[in-house]
Structure 1
Amino acid sequence: MRIIYLTTAMMPKDFNNLVKISKVKPNPSSQNFHYKIIHELKKDNDVTVISLRPANSTTCDQHYFEHEINDIFIYPSFFNKKLFKNFTFIRNSKKIISSLKYNEQPIVLVDLLNPHLAKLAHYIRKNHGGRIVGIITDNPNNLSNVNHRYIKKVESSFSYCNAYITLTENLNKYINRRNRPFLIIPGILSEDIIVKEMPVNYKYIFFGGALYERYGVRNLIEAFKKVNTEARLIIAGHGPMKEEIALLAENDPRFIYAGLLSFREMLQYQQHALININPRIFTSDLDYYSIPSKVIDYADSNMPTISSLSHDLKKIYGDSIHWIYNSSIDQLAQEITNVLKNIDEKKQKAIKAKKIGRQHFDPKIIGNKINSFFKELF
């Protein structure tokens, strides 16, 4: 099948290079999800990726991004200025799209959380034919630092699509207002990579993610202060709490700030942790629409996972993950203590969690589901 994938995801090395020059680091969550799908789809399909590099004049001082190609990824050039970025990106993308060969009508996969990519998808269908499959990984109302205008733009793009791929049933109900074909994919793992080298020479508990208070990071810090253990708490990621966490780590040796890690480094830290923790504070809106992708990754580490409740993932993993039901500091501290006291028993649960995750989220399984979905539709 001929697939054009419109995304802000990049080749991992290219993404890491962008991170290095960015003042505000791009969120790796979207990068990881879309790249894993792209990596799997290209094995059986003719895939071209048009990538809008996730940088703007606020997050990065580079004034101009040149046209670049890396494998199947095409990065159209753009001026990195507020009034020019999207205009120049769309203009240059249209030129690239017009130059592509179309032996058959393409399937256009598009990240609907970026309205500019959605407009580009609409342009492709109008001028070159094909079908649009919208991918959405969260309700835009749940995203940080977005305004009402952005949300309306995202919602207006839903009608462009012939079909949808979403993480949850409820997210599909939100987006799929005309009852069009859909596929639910709660997540996707990477290929099963084992990193044998330990990242540090001491025992630790690990959290890696966006450093926001609303995601439970402060609760995790306060909970860990209550736990009697020689292990340290390693926090990795980027966000508003970065400076506070870095300062805490300077003054308290029990806390380590590891910065923003590469994909391989994340695997390494997860696979050698005593416990991997997702402290995200439970809210009904987040639980209704969102899947904490880090929990799927943590559960693949063969080490115990503690997480705030996700009803969708609990249906899959059962008690192989240690669920926290009220997101309180005391309960989080209690659960960390409980796992540490019974670590050998909990590791057996972790092995079960990895097996369950591979049965549901292995990239080959997800790739086959998407390919079958496309064949049935088109």
Structure 2
Amino acid sequence: MMSPRQIPEDRGSSPHFRHTPVQIIHIIGNFLRIWSIYSLYRYLSETGASVVLFLFTCLIPASILFLILQKPWKGRPLSNTQVVPSIINGGITALYFVLWGKGLKSCGPLRAILAEYSGAVLGVLSGVLYGRKGHIWKKVGGLIAMVASFYFLSQGWAMESYSPFSFKDSLDDEVQTEQLLGIKEMVLPIFAGILSALRRVIARRVSLKNQLKRRLNAITIASATCFLFPVAMWDMIIGSPSSTSDKVPFSTWAFLSTILFGVILIFYVDSIAEERLHMVFSSPRHLMVAGGCIIVMEIVYNMDFSLPGFLICCLILGFGIYEATSLERGRKDSFQTSDLSNGMLGDETQMSSLPT
């Protein structure tokens, strides 16, 4: 017969096993999203296609699918205090896609993906406005570490041809060598990462319930498509003199993977990670998952990749994110301790106080 002491031990270990399927879903979802980014980068670099026009054509079916799945016009009517910020958030999302797409084309997938974690800068801002002096110095140190990581990335530390940790005199001709960038070239993806964090914060402030968040996200993506329409039309009319997209066939895989994995699936995966794992986007745990996926994709796509340099940049960036979000992490832990003592967790309330 089971002893009374064994029952609480089993109960205490059950949450870990309940979270394991969610963690697997989170890893698979991020892997598919990063795979779509590498496919998109290869298509853009080989064809010279317009970034804005391609992303606009991807957002059209994505917004339609979001509207069909969530039906924001059904159920409890949405108030103007929810719809208007969501529409404004659509403008921020449209600007994010433009800057992120151009940063991806110029900087490559590795640096574009890691630059998305610059959204932790909002944690520094929250510490300056609401934190104590001790937290401010921690956040400033985290900001310095993040800037140092992005500087090392711009200097090619994660690339075999430029990394100071490379012991090879020459590279294989089949390896795709990326160009060496300066810190100025990484401004676009870094600013896009800050915008991405801002749009997530606005979405959390407007909606605290899961279903409401999904309905408002459909409005946000639809409005982002509308905001992007005149920019895409202007880009199509003006055209790009260096474009050679007419000589290369349209990539169905890059198109479908960007829609399904890069826009739709990743939204639901990140929402589940926030609700079940209490994991926001700009966090060291999320960076660790993305880093593992990047290593696999760099090897599969035979990119100019230096594993030691990449790991060092990720460690510095992870340390910067950890320090930059120290105040919000402490708030989250205190919320979790209080809620666990009452036997429940207020997931969305906790997440709304965190940076993305």
Q: More relative contact order in 1 or in 2 (CA 8 Å, sep 6+)? A: 2
Shorter-chain TM-score range: under 0.3
TM-score between the two structures when normalised by the length of structure 1: 0.25
**Greater share of helix:** 2
TM-score between the two structures when normalised by the length of structure 2: 0.26
**Greater share of strand:** 1
